[in-house]
Amino acid sequence: MSPQDDRPVPPATGGDAPRSRRAAKEAAREDEMRLENAVDTAGGEMPPPVVPPTAADLAGSPAPESTLLQRVMTGNALVAFLSVVLSLILGGLLIAVTDENVSRASTYFFSRPQDTLAAAWTAASGAYIALFQGSVFNFQGETFARMIYPLTQTLTVATPLICAGLGVALAFRAGLFNIGAQGQILIGATFAGWVGFTLDLPVGVHLLLVVLAGMIGGAIWAGIVGVLKARTGAHEVILTIMFNYIAINFVLYLLSTPAFQRPGSTNPISPQLDATALYPPLLGSGFRLHWGFVVAVLATVFVAWLLNRSTVGFELRAIGANASAARTAGINVSKGYILAMAIAGALAGLAGVAQVSGTEKVLTSGVAASFGFDAITVALLGRSTPWGTFAAGILFGAFRAGGVTMQASTGTSIDIVLVVQSLIVLFIAAPPLVRALFRLPAPGAPRAGKGGSTTRTPASTGAAA
């Protein structure tokens, strides 16, 4: 029959035939509720329903409609937190192992082990203290401004991560694996940059137009993917990856044309954007933090409203939860895909604007750094909720900002930061591992008996509608 067979069936009250029918009805209703729950709790800020079945349903263990994507994006917040902790510990070990002093001391480990341990502790703690000093508060700063400078740096770096992360998260919620934030940022930055350094407009109007151009650029780039997905059924993962390549090579080509080069130079670097096209500094010229951060906050508020309060958001979430059911319910799935991708692209475009008119002030082929890919991690870590993504963006901003100081003051390779970030993804993608390490109860454990390892479903990633 159905997978719910082993559930306690409510006590029967009637004859045989009505009883089984009632049981079936009951099961069907449970199914419905579960779907509803999955959609609702995925809504983020809303507190997860207090009804008992949540744990199992959130992780979507045996539910046939649960997919890898859903499981990843509705993962436990505790798991996310522990993943970060675990990654930091492993990163610390790595710092210690690769440290020169440690390897020197370890050659006589058995004669004087305390040397090795002390060196290891110094290396790891020194690196992490530098990471903190570079990302939150520099207690050695000469002036107060210099002391809080690291925090503003963190917020500056977080700005594009938040914007692009929101785009990825929104697409995730609509059941689309948007790997294309990188290309969308680049195209957004190109549009914004061109408006910024070519047009000559008054203060205010210019910046507004730059922001709009960036959003339109990203929206077009991602929208094409949405259209192809909706019309032809082409898989968005492949499309977005390919569109990343097209974007980077397209930008490289544009930068080899005189329209995008500085007068008198053939280097692939654009002129600086006009002063009127730049985000004004948020805290004065001593800091790099710009109004783009406020835009990122507003974008988060908007996405939170869109997903949780608007009809469009409900439709997108319904599509993400189960495209077939959504279609049956009368939701236009094709329109949903296109819309989700276009909004995601516009958000990524905002990240591009934050780059060209916030921090970098020029367009180059490397203006997007690796923000588009980091954004995927940010969205995963934020469980695809708007404010979760916001927090994860700030955490990753702190890693990046602090990594610079860590490298400069302790000589620890900046790649360690990348390792820590990657470990976080690894642990988030493997919740059973984290649960086993910390001996957390697996979701649905009481029923299934064994841990979360019973949650294997074909990794169809939910997007293959």
Give me the least distance between CB of 222 and another protein, in Å please: 22
Per-residue DSSP letters for 77-137? HHHHHHHHHHHHHHHHHHHHHH-HHHHHHHTTTTT-HHHHHHHHHHHHHHHHHHHHHHHT-
Which range, of 202-210, 311-319, 367-375, 391-399, touches another protein by CB under 8 A?
367-375
Residue 107 one-letter amino acid: T
Which range, of 78-86, 106-114, 296-304, 448-456, touches another protein by CB under 8 A?
106-114
The token pair at 38 is 């999955």
Write the CA distances from 23 to 20, 33, 60, 71, 113, integer angstroms: 5, 15, 22, 28, 67
For another protein, which is the closer residue by CB, 227 or 369? 369
Phi, psi angles (nearest 5°) of residue 33: -65, -35
In the block, which residue shows the tokens 């002036």? 143
| Binding track, positions 56-95, relative to another protein; x by CB under 8 A | ----------------------------------------
Please report whether residue 281 would count as binding another protein according to CB under 8 A: no
Please report whether residue 272 would count as binding another protein according to CB under 8 A: yes
Please report whether residue 369 would count as binding another protein according to CB under 8 A: yes
Please report whether residue 257 would count as binding another protein according to CB under 8 A: no
Q: How many CB atoms lie within 10 A of CB 84?
A: 20
Are the CB atoms for 408 and 131 separated by under 8 Å? no
For another protein, which is the closer residue by CB, 359 or 455? 359
Q: Which residues contact 331 (CB under 8 A, 6 or more apart)?
A: 315, 318, 319
Which range, of 168-176, 234-242, 355-363, 457-465, touches another protein by CB under 8 A?
355-363
For another protein, which is the closer residue by CB, 276 or 364? 364
| Binding track, positions 418-457, relative to another protein; x by CB under 8 A | x---------------------------------------
- Rounded distance between C-alpha atoms, residue 106 and residue 113, angstroms: 8
For another protein, which is the closer residue by CB, 108 or 438? 108
The token pair at 75 is 């993962």
Which range, of 172-180, 227-235, 322-330, 404-412, touches another protein by CB under 8 A?
404-412
Please report whether residue 256 would count as binding another protein according to CB under 8 A: yes
For another protein, which is the closer residue by CB, 107 or 460? 107
Please report whether residue 122 would count as binding another protein according to CB under 8 A: no
Encode 162-188: b = buried (16+ Cβ within 10 Å), e = exposed: bbbbbbbbbbbbbbbbbbbbbbbbbbb
Give me the least distance between CB of 183 and another protein, in Å please: 15
Q: How many CB atoms lie within 10 A of CB 422?
A: 13
The token pair at 412 is 């620890």
Give me the least distance between CB of 357 and another protein, in Å please: 14
For another protein, which is the closer residue by CB, 158 or 319? 158
Please report whether residue 135 would count as binding another protein according to CB under 8 A: no
The count of chain residues that interact with another protein, using the rule CB under 8 A, is 42
Are the CB atoms for 68 and 455 separated by under 8 Å? no
Please report whether residue 235 would count as binding another protein according to CB under 8 A: no
Give me the least distance between CB of 182 and another protein, in Å please: 12
Q: How many CB atoms lie within 10 A of CB 441?
A: 11
Are the CB atoms for 80 and 428 separated by under 8 Å? yes
Please report whether residue 350 would count as binding another protein according to CB under 8 A: no
Helix axis angle, 333-353 to 311-321, nearest 10°: 110
For another protein, which is the closer residue by CB, 265 or 460? 265
- Rounded distance between C-alpha atoms, residue 33 and residue 178, angstroms: 28
For another protein, which is the closer residue by CB, 241 or 418? 418
In the block, which residue shows the tokens 């004087």? 112
- Rounded distance between C-alpha atoms, residue 304 and residue 342, angstroms: 17
Give me the least distance between CB of 275 and another protein, in Å please: 14
Helix/strand number for the chain, H first, E second: 19, 0
Please report whether residue 414 would count as binding another protein according to CB under 8 A: yes
| Binding track, positions 286-305, relative to another protein; x by CB under 8 A | --x-----------------
| Binding track, positions 139-158, relative to another protein; x by CB under 8 A | --------------x---x-
- Rounded distance between C-alpha atoms, residue 40 and residue 162, angstroms: 23
Note the residues at the interface with another protein (CB under 8 A): 106-112, 115, 153, 157, 249, 252, 256, 265-269, 272, 288, 355, 359-362, 364, 366-367, 369-371, 400-401, 404-405, 407-409, 413-415, 418
